[in-house]
Structure 1
Amino acid sequence: MTTGSTASAGDSRVETIARLGQWRIDTFGPCSYRRSDSFRLGIWNWYLSVEKNRVMVVRLYPEPCRLAKEQPPLARFMLRVSNTAPGRRCCVSPVHEKVLRGSDDFVWQVDSMFHGRFTVDVEFLDLKIASINGGEPSPIWPDEDMLQPLASRSSLRCLSRMLSESIHTDVTIRTSDGDLRAHKAVLSSTSPVFASMFFHDLRENQLSTIDIDDMTLSSCSALLGYIYGDIDQGEFWKHRVALLAAADKYDIADLKSCCEESLVEDIGLGNVLERLQEAWLYRLAGLKKACMSYLFEFGKIHDLRDEINAFFRQADRELMVEMFHEILGVWKSI
C-alpha cells in the first residue's frame, strides 16, 4: 500500500498515493523545461517532464534501465494539468494506453498554457508488463500473493476439495438466495464468532445451521473460498466490499486487512467518497487516511463539488468533523 511517498525535496518532487502521482510546480516561465525527480508506481520508476515554447507539452516515461527494457510497462493512464489560483482551471488528457519505453513514446500537447504555479497529475488506471515476444501482457495489479495463505499448497488443495466436494460437511449456511455446506471446525478455526456459536449451546450448534441472510450465495461462496484458501482473484475483487462486511461481522482480521489494502490500491474520483464511508463504517484507519489525503492533500475535492454536497447530507457527523479538521490541517501547511 502506497500512501504519500515522495521522491525528494523541492518542486521536482512527485508525491504518490495509490495509483496517482502529483507533481506541484511552483515556478514556470514562458519558455521553460522542467523534469521531475523519479517516482515509483507499480514496479517501475517514472519521470514527468514539462516543456513550453509555442505550445506546452507533457511527457511521461519510465526510468531508462534494464527493467524497463526487459519488462516494458503497458500503461493505461490519464493526465491532468491544473492551476491552484482562484478560478481553478484544468486540462485533462484522454485515457491513453501505450507501451512506454522512453521519453518519446508519449507526448501530450496541452490545449492551454500554464504559468507560475500549477500541478501535473498522472493517474494509472492499469499497469501491465508488455510481452516483448508478442504474448499476452502480465498484470501487476492486483497482487495475487496478497491472498496466498501461509499453509502449504498441498494443504490448500485438501481444504479446497473438502469444500467443493462437501467431504464430511457438518453445517449448512443459509444465504439470502441459497444454501452452502461447510465444516464447523474450519469455520471455528477462522473466526472467534463462529467458534463461539459452536462452543455454546446455541441455535446454530443445535441445528447445525447458520443464517447469513445479509450475503448472497455468490458473495458467501467467495467468503468460504477465502476461508478454505481457494478464492479466485476475480471473485475477491467482485465481492470485496461484501467480504469486508463479513470480515468485520465475524472478526476475521486477516481478511479485513486484505480487503482494506485492496480498496486503498484503486482509490479514484469515482469511488473515493464511497471508500471513505466504508473506512468510517468498518474502522479502517489506513483506508480513511488514504481517502482524506487523496481528497485534501492532493486537492481532488475540487473535482467533486456536486458529489461532496450529496455526501455531506448523509455522512456521519463525526466523520464530517474529521474532514473539517483535515481541511484546516491542509490550509495551515500551505
Structure 2
Amino acid sequence: MRCISCNARYDVVTCKKCHEDLKAKVAFLTTAQKNYQEDLEAKVAFLTTSQPDSFSDIVLFASDGGSAQAAVPIPAHKAVLVSRSPVFNAMLENEMEESLSGTIKIRDVSYGTLRAFVDYLYAAEVVCLDQQLACDLLVMAEKYQVHHLKDLCQKFLVANSTGRILFRPTPSCTSITPRRSSTQP
C-alpha cells in the first residue's frame, strides 16, 4: 500500500509524517475558524446597540386603530433609521413634521410588528418569525424600502408556505407568487 499524501510505501493509508502534518493542519484550521467566528461575533455585538433607547433622538408609535399598546413609544436613533431606509432618510433629512417633532406615527401596523421592524433595523435579525409576522414585516419592508428584510420575509414565506398564499402578490413581490403545477390549466 502507498500513502495517499506522499505516495511512500506503507501498510496504512497514510504514513506517520503525513498523518502528523494533516493533524497539524486540521488543528490550525480549527483554531483559525474559531478565531474568525469569535471575531465576527465581536463585530456583530459591537454593531448592535444593546440598549436602543439610550440617547435616542426619535420616537416611533404604532397606530393600528385602538390597541392599548399603540401608545407605547418605541425609541430609536435617526442615524440608524436613515442608514437603513431611504424612506426614513427622505422623511428625516427634509423638514417634514416627523423630523421637526421627533415623532413618527406609523399607521395600520401593530406595536409588535413595529417593534420587530425597529429591532431588525438595529440587529438585522427577527426573533420568533412566524407567517403572520413575516407578512406584516414584508408590507413594512416594502413601504420603507428595507430590501434585505423584504428578501428575508419572502424566503421565509416561500419556505413555510402550505400551498396557498394568504395575500395578493404585488408586482414587486414576484418571488412569492404561487407557481402553477403542470397539471393545472
TM-score, length-normalised on structure 2? 0.67
- Selected match of 2:110 from 216, 224, 243: 216
Larger Rg: 2
* d(CA) in 1 for partners of 2:40, 2:110: 30
Alignment of 1:122-271 (within 5 A): 152-158=40-46, 159-163=48-52, 166-176=53-63, 177=70, 178-229=72-123, 231-235=125-129, 237-269=131-163
Deviations 1:163-190 (A, max 9, x none): 2xx1110001011213210000000000
Q: Secondary structure at the match of 2:179?
A: helix
1:148 is aligned to: none
User: Alpha carbons of 1:251 and 1:285: their partners in 2 closer, same or farther (altered >3 Å)?
Assistant: same
Structure 1 residues 254 and 223 mapped into 2: Cα distance closer, same or farther (>3 Å)? same
Q: Which amino acid aligns with 1:209?
A: T
Alignment check: 8 A CA contact 2:84 2:121 kept: yes
Cα distance per residue 1:179-230 (max 9 Å; x no partner):
2100000000000000111111110110011111221111111101111116
Report the 3-state secondary structure (helix = DSSP H, G, I; strand = E; otherwise coil) of the residue aligned with 1:210: strand
Structure with higher RCO (Cα < 8 A, 6+ apart)? 2
Question: Within 2, Cα distance between the matches of 1:168 and 1:193?
Answer: 22
Q: Which runs of 5 or more residues in structure 2 are unaligned?
A: 1-38, 64-69
* Amino acid in the other structure paired with 2:173: L
Contact 1:156 1:228 (C-alpha < 8 Å) held by counterparts? no
CA contact (8 A) 1:156 1:230 kept: no
CA distance in 2, matches of 1:298, 1:262: 26
Identity %: 23
Match of 1:309 in 2: none
8 Å Cα contact 1:188/1:194 also seen in 2: yes
Relative to structure 1, the CA distance from residue 172 to residue 202 in structure 2 (aligned partners, 3 Å threshold; closer, same or farther) is: same
SS at match of 2:60: strand
Please report how far the alpha carbon of residue 286 of structure 1 lies from its aligned counterpart in structure 2 after TM superposition: 1.6
Aligned residues: 139
Using the alignment, how far apart are the partners of 2:131 and 2:165 within structure 1?
18
- Change beyond 3 A, Cα 1:182–1:155: farther
**CA deviations over 1:270-326 (Å, ceiling 9, x no partner):** xx1425x1x23x6211211xx123xx3365xxxxxxxxxxxxxxxxxxxxxxxxxxx
**Which structure's residues are more often helix, by fraction?**
2
Q: Where do 5+ consecutive residues of structure 1 fail to align? A: 1-150, 300-326, 328-334
Map of 1:283 onto structure 2: 172
Q: TM-score, normalised by structure 1?
A: 0.38
1:175–1:235 CA distance, 2 compared to 1 (3 A): same
Is 1:222–1:235's contact at 8 Å kept on the other side of the alignment? no
Contact preservation (8 Å) 2:81, 2:121: yes
Contact 1:160 1:230 in 2 (8 A): no
* Greater strand fraction, Structure 1 or Structure 2: 1
Query: Are residues 242 and 221 of structure 1, via their aligned partners in 2, closer, same or farther at CA, if it must alter by over 3 Å?
Result: same
For residue 16 of structure 2, what is the aligned residue in structure 1?
Answer: none
Q: Structure 1 273/255 Cα, relative in aligned 2: closer, same or farther at 3 Å?
A: closer
8 Å CA contact 1:161–1:167 kept in 2: the answer is no
Q: CA deviation at 1:238?
A: 4.9
2:181 is the alignment partner of 1:274: no
